Amino acid sequence: MNLGEEPEKLPLDQVASVSAGVYDRSGKMLEQHQWVIRERPVTLYLNGREMVTLLCTGHHLDELAAGFFYAEGFLRSVEDILSIDIDDEAGAVNLSARGDSSITEGLWQKRTISSGCAKSSLFYFSLDALLSKPVKNDIRITPGRILDRVEDLNRLSETYRRTHGVHNTALADLDRVVLFRDDIGRHNAVDMIVGHVFLHGIPLRDKMLITTGRLTSEMLIKAAKVGIPVVVSRNTATSLAIELAVSLGVTLIGHARAGKFTVYNGQESIDVGLPG
Amino acid sequence: MSVYLDNAATSFPKPQTVLDAAGRVLEGVGASPGRGAHRYAREAMAIVSDCRQKVAAILGVKDPDQVVFTKNATESINLVLKGWLRPGDRVLYSAMEHNSVARPLRKLASQGVNIEVIPCNAAGVLDLGVLAQMLRSEARLVVLVHVSNVNGALMPVAEVSEMCAHARVPLFLDAAQSAGVQSIQAEDLGIGMLACSGHKALLGPPGVGILYLRPDLDVLPLMEGGTGSRSEELEQPEFCPDRYESGTPNLPGLAGLCAGIGYILETGMNHIRNHEIGIANYIENELLQIPGVRVLEPQRRGSGAVSFVVEGMNPADTGSILDQAFDIAVRTGLHCAPLAHQTLGTFPEGTVRVSPGFSTTNENVEYFLNGLRWIVTRRG
């Protein structure tokens, strides 16, 4: 679902109302109805072969599957996809793709091997090392626009406000959030964004990925693989994410809240010459 | 298919005769050569003598006693550098040297030896003009790698040796990559000292190093001990090779080395060299056709080692994928030669090195090239 400026309505298929006892320090209890996020297993199949089971909220499963298999290196272009078949009831998605992926499957989740005889690789998975390339990054953003888009993200998630049980992720240009996804797993939310971008061929040179999750190496690698030049979070970054951001030319911004943010890499992206 | 392309590190597989010879020693001889007069010890001594003669012959040395056995080329190099150089001495060494030279020299520099690098250009070509100038001042030693272990570049040994002879400075040749593929006539070339290993192109098992010392050079030994000779004296023997060979030698290794050299002589060193360098040239030409692959071409090729990088990829990652996806063994990184990589502009990540051997087939090479093409294509 692409968004304008309006918050989404609470998606009732992703939440459940539960009755629970709320206690205070004195032992006083109040019976309450609360909204909690639904969690369900979804198994992803590639050409009928079971690949992985994700624990997720269970929405946008076509994007989730496309984003997952693209980020993991099984898809090269959208033309590779023959079909995406969703069995919502069974929690299963089968993505049929053309081509022989046996070599990629052989490399999947294999750890890179360092000999200790040179400066070692930053990557720990061979497929990430193979598929991650420096991002074209010539974006310039004012501090005000960065903070505005982070506020947009916070404002857009009715599910988060009602459940506090999801991570929010958005793709934004300078003026607005163009795509919003949330999920119990921050990786799932990013995979949905990646999947949507991949399926619809959205240009990314003027886009930011904004997440409520920590900025880890996995987040950074996913963004770089699809070519997003700026990654922003309300949260902090890890040391490896920062090293990868430097290596891949991604502008990495953390602690974006309360009118401030920290630029871990790519200060040249911050346009301080224009009013925010 | 499993393909081994790391023969510059150690040759593999070895000829069957090498395995047989080493196995026969362990099964049927087992004694310590020169220690005792019994049949087994005599047989062991004959194996050592036979190996020494074969090594002398393949290195162009008339007197086999000037050939010393150590445990590897690094020990041979340490023996020369630490037994020849003294505080205040000046030593010149090329910018393409291996750490087996660079590290002991760094240690010696901390003890007052003056170490100076002979520059090479970005293709690894030694600057003979600068060397001529450097040799105008007194020097105690010149150290030169015969063939680069990084990209197979052949260094101008004859020219350097002539310049050293003119300046009356001994030349110490590191022939670790060349012995067994390049014809070396150490005495005719006027080389002062030569070090190499037995387990690379000489096709022996690991654990044997070789050192040739010209008789007029008084190099001190690295260590003293039992030699099986002049045991009544507490002083270390002064004659070669006993002066440098304390302790029980690696008899299975020497027997295997002897068989390895036998295989080379039987097959023909020229044949092996043409095979390995022919494959290297073919690989190099094919790599040059792959967009995004940069090859470190030597001006003159002296071995089968080919170095390259896939632009934008850490060489270790390229090697990992060749290993994991295709079962192809290559060597990545700095190849223990950071000086050479600084010279060639590939420091600190290094390169991917492929080094075919005598048994590498065309099918092996095509399999490797197709694996690399998959990597480059998949990377996009």
Q: What is the ipTM of this complex?
A: 0.87
Whether residue B112 has pLDDT greater than 50: yes
Distance CA A260, CA B50 (A): 79
Residue A220 has pLDDT above 50, yes or no: yes
The residue with tokens 């090293």 is A243
- Nearest Cα of chain B lies from the Cα of A267 at a distance, in angstroms, of 23
Angstrom distance (rounded) from CA A108 to CA B90: 54
Per-residue pLDDT for A259 more than 70? Answer: yes
Number of helical (H) and strand (E) elements in chain A, helices listed first? 8, 12
> What pLDDT, on a 0 to 100 scale, did the predictor assign at position A273?
80
Query: What's the pLDDT score for residue B380?
Result: 87
Q: Which long-range contacts (CB under 8 A, 24 or more apart) does A35-39 make?
A: A35/A10, A35/A162, A35/A163, A36/A163, A36/A165, A37/A159, A37/A163, A37/A165, A37/A166, A37/A184, A38/A13, A38/A14, A39/A184
Q: Which of residues 261-320 of B touch A (CB under 8 A)?
A: 312-317, 319-320
Question: Across the beta sheet with A230-233, what order do the strands follow?
Answer: A177-183, A167-172, A208-211, A230-233, A251-257, A260-265
The backbone torsions φ and ψ at residue A180, rounded to the nearest 5 degrees and listed phi first, read -135, 135
Q: What is the pLDDT of residue B359?
A: 96
φ, ψ at B323 (rounded to 5°): -70, -50
B333-367: pLDDT as tens digits: 999 999 999 999 999 999 999 999 999 999 999 99
How large is the average pLDDT for residues A161-170? 82
Q: Tokens standing for A98?
A: 């053309």
Give me the pLDDT at residue A275, please.
54
pLDDT value of residue A118: 83
Q: Comparing C-alpha atoms, which of B258, B267, B235 is closest to residue B67? A: B258
What was the pLDDT predicted at A115?
Answer: 74
**Which pair of tokens denotes residue B149?**
């272990």
pLDDT above 80 (res A159): no
E strand or H helix at B51: helix B39-59
Give pLDDT, residue A266: 97
φ, ψ at B367 (rounded to 5°): -60, -45
In the prediction, which pLDDT does A3 show? 46
Residue from the list B320, B350, B378 with its beta carbon closest to the beta carbon of A112: B320
Arithmetic mean of pLDDT, B275-293: 98
pLDDT band at A18 (very low <50, low <70, confident <90, very high): confident
A2 confidence band (pLDDT: 50, 70, 90): very low
Q: How far is it, in rounded angstroms, from Cα B76 to Cα B69?
A: 8
Per-residue pLDDT band at A157 (split at 50, 70, 90): confident
For residue range B161-175, what is the model confidence (pLDDT) as tens digits? 999 999 999 999 999
pTM summary value: 0.91
Q: Across residues A237-256, what is the average pLDDT?
A: 97
Q: How far is residue B85's CA from residue B105's CA, in Å, rounded to a whole number?
A: 9
> B316 contacts in A (CB within 8 Å)?
112-115, 118, 120-121
Interval A187-209: pLDDT, tens: 999 999 999 999 999 999 999 99
Res. A117: pLDDT tops 90: no
- pLDDT value at position A4? 44
- The arithmetic mean of pLDDT across residues B303-319, rounded, is 96
- pLDDT at position A7 over 60: no
Residues of B in contact with A80 (CB under 8 A): none
Angle (CA) A47 A49 A51, round 5°: 110
Please check the confidence at residue B270 and state whether its pLDDT lies above 90: yes
The answer on pLDDT for A12 being more than 80 is no
pLDDT confidence band for A16 (50 / 70 / 90):
confident
Q: What is the mean pLDDT of residues A249-262?
A: 97
CB atoms within 10 A of CB A56: 23
Euclidean distance between CA atoms A170 and A56, whole angstroms: 17
Beta strand A260-265 pairing with B306-310: unpaired
Asked if residues B185 and B158 have their Cβ atoms less than 8 Å apart, the reply is no
Mean local confidence (pLDDT), B100-113 = 98
Q: Count the neighbouring beta carbons within 10 Å of the beta carbon of residue A21.
A: 8
Q: What is the mean pLDDT of residues B293-297?
A: 97
Alpha carbons within 13 angstroms on the beta-carbon side of residue B173 total 30
Residues 330-369 of B with CB under 8 A from A: 331-336, 348-350
pLDDT digits (tens, 9 = 90+) for B188-204: 999 999 999 999 999 99
Q: What is the pLDDT of residue A129?
A: 95
Per-residue pLDDT averaged across A226-234, rounded?
96
Q: What is d(CA B18, CA A22) in angstroms, rounded to the nearest whole number?
A: 80
Q: If we measure between CA atoms, which residue out of A84, A87, A104 comes closest to residue A95?
A: A84
CB B100 within 8 A of CB B73: yes
- Answer with the residue of higher pLDDT: A185 or A231: A231
As a residue count, chain B comes to 380
Integer Cα distance of A213 and A219 in angstroms: 9
Residue B321 has pLDDT above 60, yes or no: yes
Which pLDDT value is given to residue A193? Answer: 97
- Residues A22-72 pLDDT 10s: 999 999 999 988 888 889 999 999 999 999 999 998 899 999 999 999 999
- Residue B141: the pLDDT is 98
At residue A163 the predicted structure's pLDDT band, cuts being 50, 70 and 90, is confident
Do the Cβ atoms of A123 and B314 come within 8 Å?
A: yes
Using an 8 Å CB-CB cutoff, list residues of chain A that contact chain B.
73, 76, 103-104, 106-107, 110, 112-123, 126, 129-131, 133-134
Q: What SS3 class is residue B13?
A: coil
**Alpha-carbon distance A50 to A255, whole Å?**
38
Query: CB distance B323–A113 less than 8 Å?
Result: yes
What is the token pair recorded at B35?
A: 């220690």
pLDDT at residue A240, as a whole number: 97
CB A191 within 8 A of CB A221: no
Active-site positions of A read 117
pLDDT for A218 beyond 60? yes
User: Rounded to an integer, what distance in angstroms lies between the CA atom of residue A104 and that of residue A200?
Assistant: 24
Please give the structure tokens belonging to residue B363. 């099918």
Is the pLDDT assigned to residue A8 strictly greater than 70? no
Arithmetic mean of pLDDT, B297-316: 96
Residue A165 to residue B259: CA distance in whole angstroms: 71
Dmax (CA) for chain A in angstroms is 65
Q: From the CA of A243, how many Å to the nearest CA of chain B?
A: 14
CA distance A103 to chain B (A): 6
**Beta-sheet pairing, A92-97 with A40-46:** parallel
- Residue B138 pLDDT exceeds 80: yes
d(CA A218, CA A68): 12
